[in-house]
Amino acid sequence: MARNKFDVDEKLESSFSFDHIKRLARYLIPFKWLMFATIGLMLLTSVLNMLAPMITREAIDVRLPAGDKKGILVLGGIMVAIYLINAVIVKFRMVTLVKVGQSLVANLRRDIFKHLQILPFDFYDSRPHGKILVRVINYVNSINNLLTGGLINLITDLFTVVIILVLMFTLSLKLSLITLGGVFVFGGIIFAMKNKQRRVWQDYSAKQSNLNAYIHESICGIKVTQSFSREKENQRIFETQCENVRTSFMRAKIIDICNWPMVETISTITTCIVFLVGGADLLSGSGAITTGTLVAFVGYVNMFWTPVLSLCNYYNQLINTAAYLERIFEVMDTPATVEDLPGAVEMPPIKGDVDFRDVTFAYEEGVNILKGLSFSVDRGKTIAVVGPTGAGKTTIINLLSRFYDIQGGEILIDGENITRYTLRSLRSQVGVMLQDTFIFSGTVMDNIRYGRLDATDEEVISAAKTVCAHDFITTLENGYYTEVNERGSRLSVGQRQLISFARALLADPRILILDEATASIDTRTEQALQTGLARLLKGRTSFVIAHRLSTIRGADNIMFIDGGQIVESGTHEQLMAQKGRYYSLCTSQYELG
Partner 1 sequence: MKTLKWLFSVYIRPYAGRMIFALCLTMLNTVLSNIRPYLSGRIIDDVFYNGMQNRLVTLVILMFLSIVLKDIFRIIDHYILEGTSQKVVYNIRVALYKSLHKLDFDFFDHNRTGDIMNRLSGDIDSVRHFVAWVLNGILENSCLFLSALFILGFINWQLTLCLLAVTPVIAFFAVAMGKRVGPAFRNARQKLSGLNTVVQENISGNRVVRAFAREDYELEKFDRANLEYRDANIASNRIGQRYIPILDTLANSLNVVVMVVGGIMVITKQMSPGEFVTFNTMSWALNTPMRNVGWLINDSLNAVASGEKIMEFTLERPRIHTEKEHVEKESFEGRVEFRDVSFSYGEEPVLDRVSFTAVPGQTVAIIGETGSGKSTLTNLICRFYDATEGQVLVDGIDVRQLNLRALRRSISIAMQDIFLFSDTIEGNIAYGVPDAPFERVVEAAKMADADGFIRGLPEGYDTIIGERGVGLSGGQKQRIALARAILKNPSILILDDTTSSVDMETEHYIQQTLKKFSAGRTTFIIAHRISAVKDADQILVMEKGRIAERGTHDELLALGGRYKEVYDTQYGNFDAEPVKGGVR
Instruction: List the interface residues with partner 1, window 362-381 (CB under 8 A).
Output: 364, 367
Interface region with partner 1, contact rule CB under 8 A, candidates 21-29, 84-92, 340-348, 411-419: 84-92
Minimum distance, C-beta of residue 19 to partner 1, in the bound complex (Å): 25
By the 8 A CB rule, do 420 and 370 touch? no
Enumerate residues 192-211 that contact partner 1 by CB under 8 A: none
Q: Does 219 bind partner 1 (CB under 8 A)?
A: yes
Nearest-CA neighbor of 52 among 72, 78, 85, 71?
78
Q: How far is the CB of 1 from partner 1 (least distance, A)?
A: 8
Specify the residue, 158 or 242, whose C-beta has the smaller distance to partner 1.
242
453 binds partner 1 (CB under 8 A): yes
Cβ proximity to partner 1: between 169 and 583 the closer is 583
As measured in angstroms, the least distance from the Cβ of 261 to partner 1 is 3
Angle between the 173-220 and 291-333 helix axes, to the nearest 10 degrees?
Answer: 30
The DSSP code sequence of 213-235 is: HHHHHHHHTHHHHHHTT-HHHHH
Residues of the chain by 3-state class (helix, strand, coil), percent to 5: 65, 10, 25
566, 580, 542, 559: which is closest to 370 by C-alpha?
A: 566
Q: Which stretch binds partner 1 (CB under 8 A): 22-30, 348-356, 407-415, 429-437?
A: 429-437
Stretch 244-263 residues interacting with partner 1 (CB under 8 A): 246, 249-250, 253-254, 257-258, 260-262
Site for partner 1 in 107-126 (CB under 8 A): 109-110, 113-114, 116-118, 121, 124-126
DSSP 380: T
Q: Which of residues 261-300 bind partner 1 (CB under 8 A)?
A: 261-262, 264-265, 268-269, 271-272, 275-276, 279, 282-283, 291, 294-295, 298
Work out whether 455 is an interface residue with partner 1 (CB under 8 A): no
**35-54 binders of partner 1 (CB under 8 A):** 52
Among the listed residues 438, 474, 574, 577, the single contact to partner 1 using CB under 8 A: 438
Q: How far is CA 508 from CA 83, 284, 350, 355, 544, in A?
A: 67, 98, 12, 22, 17
Q: Does 127 bind partner 1 (CB under 8 A)?
A: yes
Does residue 240 belong to the site contacting partner 1 (CB under 8 A)? no
- Our CB check for partner 1 shows the closer of 465 and 487 to be 487
User: Rounded to a whole number, what is the largest CA-CA distance in the chain?
Assistant: 122
| Selected binder of partner 1 within 145, 225, 316, 334 (CB under 8 A) | 225
Specify the stretch interacting with partner 1 by CB under 8 A; choose among 193-201, 304-312, 371-379, 489-497. Answer: 489-497
Nearer to partner 1, 231 or 358 (CB): 231
How many CA atoms lie less than 13 Å away from 2 in the CB half-sphere?
4
Q: How many residues bind partner 1 (CB under 8 A)?
A: 195
What phi, psi does 383 have (nearest 5°)?
Answer: -115, 125
Instruction: Give me the DSSP letters along 555-580.
Output: -SEEEEEETTEEEEEE-HHHHHHHTS
Query: By CB under 8 A, is residue 538 in contact with partner 1?
Result: yes
Q: How far apart are alpha carbons 546 and 550 in whole angstroms?
A: 9
The sign of the dihedral angle between the CA atoms of 288, 289, 290, 291 is negative
Q: How far is the CB of 440 from partner 1 (least distance, A)?
A: 5
Site for partner 1 in 497-526 (CB under 8 A): 497-498, 500, 503, 507, 514, 516, 519-526
Q: Could you say whether residue 485 binds partner 1 (CB under 8 A)?
A: yes
Q: Which residue from 320, 389, 399 is spatially nearest to 355, judged by alpha carbons?
A: 399
Residues 144-203 that bind partner 1 (CB under 8 A): none
- By beta-carbon proximity to partner 1, the closer residue of 162 and 534 is 534
Note whether 474 binds partner 1 by CB under 8 A: no
User: Strands 430-433, 511-515: parallel, antiparallel or unpaired by DSSP?
Assistant: parallel
Give the relative orientation of helices 149-171 and 173-220 as an angle to the nearest 10 degrees. 170
CA distances 301 to 167, 287, 292, 342, 496, Å, are: 10, 21, 14, 62, 71
CB atoms within 10 A of CB 561: 24
Kindly tell me which of 16 and 363 has the beta carbon lying closer to partner 1. 363
Task: Say whether residue 16 binds partner 1 (CB under 8 A).
Answer: no
Q: Which residues pair with 421 in a beta bridge?
A: 345
Q: Which range binds partner 1 by CB under 8 A, 19-27, 40-48, 345-353, 390-398?
A: 390-398
Stretch that binds partner 1, among 19-27, 190-198, 349-357, 447-455 (CB under 8 A): 447-455
Asked if 222 touches partner 1 (CB under 8 A), the answer is: yes
- Closer residue to partner 1 (CB): 20 or 449: 449
Smallest Cα–Cα separation from 311: which of 159, 189, 194? 159
Residue with smaller CB distance to partner 1, 158 or 566: 566
How many beta carbons lie within 10 A of that of residue 432, not counting itself?
22
List the beta strands (DSSP E) in 416-564. Answer: 416-417, 430-433, 442-443, 483-484, 511-515, 541-545, 557-562
Complex with partner 1: residue 357 or 581, whichever CB lies closer: 581
Q: Is residue 62 part of the contact set for partner 1 (CB under 8 A)?
A: no
Residue 93's alpha-carbon distances to 2, 153, 274, 313, in angstroms, are 47, 11, 37, 20
Give least dist CB 282 to partner 1, A: 7
Q: Where are the beta strands (DSSP E) in 447-510?
A: 483-484
**Cα 543 to Cα 380: distance, rounded to the nearest angstrom:** 10
Q: Is 11 in the site for partner 1 (CB under 8 A)?
A: no
Binding-site member from 15, 29, 223, 335 for partner 1 (CB under 8 A): 223
Contacts with partner 1 in 548-577 (CB under 8 A)?
548-556, 572-573
Shortest separation between residue 339's beta carbon and partner 1, angstroms:
12
Distance CA 516, CA 544 (A): 7
Residues between 331 and 360 with contacts to partner 1, criterion CB under 8 A: none
